[in-house]
A and B are shown apart, each in its own frame.
Chain A
């Protein structure tokens, strides 16, 4: 069985290390916060100006002056800090954020990512995505391996306008865990019940099956 979005989030959560400062994008990446392993402390960064993002508030705690980058109401925690957008992106661009998890429409075998624009459709803007992918070395893409039409999102080259060049080195999809290196998607882990044939059929970019291929826990 391929993973659902919760399964993808759970797998990515296992990449968290104690003491990490982490930026989670909107969608599946947000769910990673629900699966932080026991004994690991991570601090969540929200690029609109909050370090130490807490859970959603209960009704009586809702504060319109306290939101996350998805414009949802959130809370602070003991030890949280607040700052401007310039400070926030200084943290990001300056390499102080340890891990970024974000979604994508396409990822290419050279590490290019596209997730902000579909030509001919309404363009909403890139928000902070271009800054995040340009800055951090440690980026994980969380996404379904195919689009709603069933077409592979792991490609030889991005067909959509890119968000960043050669910046992605890890992708977790509903089917597997890939490392991008030497111009190929290296399948390191496969989701339980998924076959290598299915992976091959749904990967248009260059695929290398690891000699140590593991079944995802």
Chain B
């Protein structure tokens, strides 16, 4: 078994135009920086990107918007991005907005083999338009479908060569569910170690979900809102 690839370029080399991608991260926290750079270099186009946010103008998925590689974004919140706004208003970019918890659960369901589930979120709102609703135990629910991707691209703190992953802090966010929902899951990690060096009790994503792994380089980890206290 060999899941280790040399770098981001090798990891994304067979991603075709019009692929459906999942990209981990919340804001700029826990995003697969190396793979985003590699996708831009590769110039692949017509992508559908499932990601909680769309980056900022100068970083993250925002960079892929600038190069017009994204056809459609599926996200819960897309503020903080002027180029995004311009493309959306001019009709160059399609956007589907999904409540954050529903987005997380649809991805989880995709990985877990559950095609449909009922959630109270969005009942009676625009989000439920055109969807089946159902009364259960006296409350109204909206039926939501799973989400899957051709390639799920996640970022972890540590990983081993079998694809077991450990995340750090709130950089975990959407990464664990996305790792389960890709036909091919690519993990970039800050530290790549041999099997046995990670405590099995502490694994967040078991290696079964991961097909490709590599050690990323030069993480910038930009901060959107650096907020500090004085003492």
Q: Of A63, A74, A86, A123, which is within 8 A of B177 by CB?
A: A86
Proximity string of chain B (122-147) to chain A, C-beta cutoff 8 Å, 1 when within and 0 when not: 11111100000000000000000000
Q: A49-B173, A124-B78 are in contact. Are A67 and B100 (CB under 8 A)?
A: no
Q: Of B75, B78, B125, which is within 8 A of A163 by CB?
A: B125
A128 touches B120 (CB 8 A): no
Give Cα distance in the complex from A43 to B108, angstroms. 26
List the B side residues contacting A77 at CB < 8 Å: none
Is residue B52 contacting chain A, with contact meaning CB distance below 8 A? Answer: yes
Q: A65-B30, A93-B119 are in contact. Are A50 and B170 (CB under 8 A)?
A: yes
List the B side residues contacting A58 at CB < 8 Å: 228-231
Is residue A134 contacting chain B, with contact meaning CB distance below 8 A? Answer: yes
B228 touches A62 (CB 8 A): yes
Q: Which of B78-108 contact A (CB under 8 A)?
A: 78-79, 85, 88-89, 97, 99-105, 107-108
B107 touches A126 (CB 8 A): no
Is residue A48 contacting chain B, with contact meaning CB distance below 8 A? Answer: yes
Give Cα distance in the complex from A1 to B169, angstroms. 43
List the B side residues contacting A48 at CB < 8 Å: 26-27, 29, 170, 173
List the A side residues contacting B30 at CB < 8 Å: 65
Give Cα distance in the complex from A48 to B230, angstroms. 25
B85 touches A86 (CB 8 A): no
Is residue A159 contacting chain B, with contact meaning CB distance below 8 A? Answer: no
Interface of A is mostly: loop
Is residue B121 contacting chain A, with contact meaning CB distance below 8 A? Answer: yes
Q: How far is the CB of B25 from chain A (nearest CB, A)?
A: 10
A71 touches B229 (CB 8 A): no
Closest to B125 in A: A162
Proximity string of chain A (113-132) to chain B, C-beta cutoff 8 Å, 1 when within and 0 when not: 00001000011111111110
Is residue B198 contacting chain A, with contact meaning CB distance below 8 A? Answer: no
Q: Of A47, A64, A162, A163, which is within 8 A of B29 by CB?
A: A64
- Segment from B7-15, B36-44, B219-227 that makes contact with A: B219-227
A73 touches B228 (CB 8 A): yes
A131 touches B228 (CB 8 A): no
List the A side residues contacting B103 at CB < 8 Å: 85
Chain B interface bracket (under 10, 10 to 19, 20 to 34, 35 or more): 35 or more
A82 touches B27 (CB 8 A): no
B29 touches A125 (CB 8 A): no
Proximity string of chain B (171-194) to chain A, C-beta cutoff 8 Å, 1 when within and 0 when not: 111111100000000000000000
Max chain A C-beta neighbours (<10 A), residue from B100, B104, B169:
B100
Closest to A55 in B: B229
Give Cα distance in the complex from A124 to B82, angstroms. 11
A64 touches B222 (CB 8 A): yes
Q: Which of A100-159 contact B (CB under 8 A)?
A: 112, 117, 122-131, 134-135
Give Cα distance in the complex from A134 to B127, angstroms. 12
B168 touches A131 (CB 8 A): no
Give Cα distance in the complex from A177 to B77, angstroms. 30
Q: How far is the CB of B101 from chain A (nearest CB, A)?
A: 3
Give Cα distance in the complex from A86 to B119, angstroms. 13
A125 touches B170 (CB 8 A): no
A65 touches B169 (CB 8 A): yes
Q: What are 19 sample pairs from A and B whose C-beta atoms fall under 8 A apart?
A: A47-B101, A48-B26, A49-B170, A55-B229, A65-B170, A71-B28, A82-B172, A86-B108, A93-B119, A124-B79, A128-B100, A130-B101, A130-B122, A131-B102, A134-B121, A161-B126, A162-B124, A163-B125, A165-B123
Closest 8 CB pairs of A and B: A89-B101, A165-B124, A131-B101, A65-B169, A64-B221, A124-B79, A130-B99, A125-B77
A residues whose Cβ falls under 8 Å from a Cβ of B? 46-50, 55-59, 62-68, 70-74, 76, 82-86, 88-89, 92-93, 112, 117, 122-131, 134-135, 161-166
